[in-house]
Amino acid sequence: MGSGRELKCPKCEYNFWERFGVGMLFPRKYARTVQDAREGKLGEEIQTFFAEHEEGAIRASYVTLCCDKCGALKTGQDLTMFVPKDNKTVQSEHGRWSVAASFEGARYVDDMDLDEFYNEYMKYPHKCDECGGSMHIVKGRESLKCPKCRTKLEVAGFINWD
């Protein structure tokens, strides 16, 4: 299941839609993201990671990113890199993912697998499209401010999909 919420600035009317998770197409999105990473489309750091850690995995779900420099917000994939605990090979082939999109036998690593069978290796170095600054993953109840006027954003709506 994917979810999200709309955030609005009460002062200048800036709005931003956060998205979390991926939804029914997670196995396909995971496979494409790993392929892009291995091909260098997501940067040198993650390409090197997969070259050095064949059994490595990533967190492919969507998160909100906030620039530490200018405060810009964007939705992006987490892309934190993980290695198997105790250097053991992890079985990542799963059964049916959902009724609508089964992906029977698809190879992917979901968040439960990461928590149980993997150790975090390195956070992905997200960069801001606006200023080039470093971006961090917004966690839990972090209060978000409007990147234009720095006023606290308010929740204006919610969405669930899948």
Q: Which domain holds residue 102?
A: 2-146
Burial letters 114-153, b for 16+ CB under 10 A, else e? beebbeeeeebebebeeeeeebebeeeeeebebbeeeeeb
**Residue 155 within any structural domain of the chain:** no
**Residue 91 within any structural domain of the chain:** yes
**Residue 58 within any structural domain of the chain:** yes
- Are the beta carbons of 39 and 94 closer than 8 angstroms? no
What is the chain's pLDDT, residue by residue, as a tens digit (162 residues)? 677 889 999 999 899 998 887 777 788 888 899 999 999 999 999 999 999 999 999 999 899 999 999 999 999 999 999 999 986 666 555 554 444 444 555 577 888 889 989 999 999 999 999 999 999 999 877 889 999 999 999 999 888 766
**Residue 69 within any structural domain of the chain:** yes
**Residue 101 within any structural domain of the chain:** yes
**Residue 122 within any structural domain of the chain:** yes
Q: Please tell me the pTM assigned to this model.
A: 0.84
Number of domains in the chain: 1
Distance CA 56, CA 47 (A): 11
**Residue 66 within any structural domain of the chain:** yes
**Residue 9 within any structural domain of the chain:** yes
